[in-house]
Amino acid sequence: MSFDNKIAVITGAAAGIGRATADLFAARGARVIAVDRDADGLEALADSGMVTLCADMIDSDLPDAVSEKIATMGGPLAILVNNAGIGGGGRMDQTSDDDVRRHFEVNVLGLFRLARFAVGQMQAAGGGSIVNVASIYAEIGATGSAGYSASKGAVAALTRQMATDYGHDGIRVNAVAPGLIETPLTRERIRNEPWRHKIFVEQSPLQRVGQPNDVARAIAFLASDEAAFVSGEILRVDGGWAMGRYPREVQQ
């Protein structure tokens, strides 16, 4: 799964899944453009030789800024990993209109703009690969995440739609659907909320919390030529949780 000399744009690259993905792609030869709003987090990536762009997903000018970075590297764009997003939220009766708008603005509209830009670049280049980061919550009813789940469901639907529309241009579009992954955003919840451990770990076949590298490797597979005949797929990376999240007999 070499990405030798391919330009790859990875959003939300400063930490968590994005950081693991950026490091993995760079190790496999990609020329990475790491995008994040966390300037401090991007410093380490710049020190390792990656091109960095400090920007927010809600900025409508972000595609233009990414385009300028690609131009300085000689192009073309080969891979886009749409990882940046926000989580949190509550049940529908606890969720305001503004909360829903924020989730869709970041998780869907920001992703949409970059994907639309990437499609144009990849059409001109004769093909490419886009991997979106959805969530297991896009497929499984989950408590307390109305805005988040709805937005990630939209990401999954958009992934399939793009795969249908642009496959004839040689553009593959897939997504990963992570389960509970230990990142800076989830680490405290995992430690401080015993119910979360019981639901996501004890009721999962693999019975462990996922790590960013677990998702990064799945993203790398979907982006690579190893998945040349895979498109429109939503790949669960959840330790089997969605399949096995029901009480099972405990061996005494």
Question: For residues 3 and 30, is the Cβ–Cβ distance under 8 A?
Answer: yes
Q: For the residues 31-35, what does the mean pLDDT come to?
A: 98
What rounded mean pLDDT belongs to the chain?
92
- Asked if residue 251 is part of any domain, the answer here is no
- Asked if residue 204 is part of any domain, the answer here is no
Of 3-12, 34-43, 47-56, 138-147, the range with the lowest mean pLDDT is 138-147
Count of domains for the chain: 1
Give the pLDDT band (50/70/90) at residue 200: confident
- Asked if residue 51 is part of any domain, the answer here is yes
- Asked if residue 1 is part of any domain, the answer here is no
The pTM assigned to this predicted structure is: 0.93
pLDDT at position 141: 75
| Residues 6+ positions from 249 with CB-CB distance below 8 Å | none
- Asked if residue 167 is part of any domain, the answer here is yes
- The answer on pLDDT for 145 being more than 90 is no
Of 36-45, 141-150, 243-252, the range with the lowest mean pLDDT is 243-252
- The answer on pLDDT for 124 being more than 60 is yes
148 annotated active-site: yes
- The answer on pLDDT for 169 being more than 90 is yes
User: pLDDT > 90: what percent of the chain?
Assistant: 77
- The answer on pLDDT for 43 being more than 70 is yes
- Asked if residue 22 is part of any domain, the answer here is yes
Q: Which of 137, 148, 166, 246 is catalytic?
A: 148
Segments forming the whole domain that contains residue 52: 7-182+209-240
- Closest to 212 (Cα-Cα) out of 4, 48, 43, 12: 12
Question: How far apart, in Å, are the Cα atoms of 19 and each of 11, 24, 58, 112?
Answer: 9, 9, 20, 21
Q: What is the CATH number of the domain that holds 109?
A: 3.40.50.720
pLDDT at position 213: 98
pLDDT at position 243: 84
- The answer on pLDDT for 31 being more than 70 is yes
| Residues 6+ positions from 67 with CB-CB distance below 8 Å | 117, 121
- Asked if residue 200 is part of any domain, the answer here is no
pLDDT at position 251: 56
C-alpha 226, offset from chain centre? 19
- Asked if residue 172 is part of any domain, the answer here is yes
In degrees to the nearest 10, what's the CA dihedral of 85, 178, 25, 132? -50
Q: For the residues 80-92, what does the mean pLDDT come to?
A: 91
- The answer on pLDDT for 246 being more than 60 is no
